[in-house]
Amino acid sequence: MIGTGKIKQYANVLDKPLGKGKQEVSLSAFAFLFSELVQYNQTQVDNISELETRLEDAGYAVGARVLELLCHRDKGNRRETRLLGILSFVHSTVWKVLFGKVADSLEKGTEHEDEYMISEKELLVNRFISIPKDMGTFHCGAFVAGIVKGVLENAGFPAVVTAHFVPVEGQQRPRTTILIKFAEEVLRREARLG
């Protein structure tokens, strides 16, 4: 089958192998598309938190599909059942496929048991975006938070995911942190599994 030396024509498109596809996408094309997504949603909402919710919903759809694709392609259809397993899957595999690099860091929250944080110096989606001062705490990373939420919820780990700016001393631009707060049932199940 593989490497027959000539391109096999498939009668049914569903029989075609699920290839890796082209690995590179134009950053400019994505930036313009994302900018348009934000602008379109701005016209549909009345306030900032609604805008964040819309971006999150858009990301959720992406996350759900990315999970299915990566489980089949990279993990050989094995399902993650442990918390740390799914978190490192998001932190490495999902980030690598979506943004071309693993996330900068994955940390456990110190104050609450159910909080985890993925940090990034600057999210790819925010690369060209400058938030005006009057928009306060709005973060276009809500899109990425939605992606993470989509992956986690569809893997069976319901969570509330948000994106925040964290000021860093000595640097002009703040870091971005994706804060993941797992639901009660996840922690209970994790405790039961030992």
Partner 1 sequence: MAAIYSLYIINNSGGLIFYKDYGSKGRMDTNDSLRVASLWHSMHAILQQLSPINGCSGIELLEADTFDLHCFQSLTGTKFFVVCETGTQHMEALLKVIYELYTDYVLKNPFYEMEMPIRCELFDINLTQAIQKDRVALLGR
Binding residues (CB under 8 A) for partner 1: these are: 28, 31-32, 34-39, 42, 128-132, 135, 140, 172-173
Q: What is the rounded CA–CA span in Å between residue 177 and residue 118?
A: 6
Nearer to partner 1, 38 or 106 (CB): 38
Query: Which stretches within 128-183 are classed as H helix?
Result: 142-154
User: What is the C-alpha separation between 3 and 141, in angstroms, rounded?
Assistant: 42
Q: DSSP readout, 63-87? A: HHHHHHHHHHHTSTTPPP-SHHHHH
Q: Which residues of 63-91 are buried (b: 16+ CB within 10 A; e: fewer)?
A: bbebbeebbeeeeeeeebeebeebbebbb
**Closest to 34 measured CA to CA, from 120, 163, 134, 124:** 124
When the beta carbons of 35 and 119 are compared against partner 1, the nearer one is 35
Closer by beta carbon to partner 1, 72 or else 127? 127
**Residue 186 near residue 125 (C-beta atoms within 8 A):** no
**All residues at 6 or more sequence positions from 42 whose CB lies less than 8 Å from its CB, including other chains:** 51
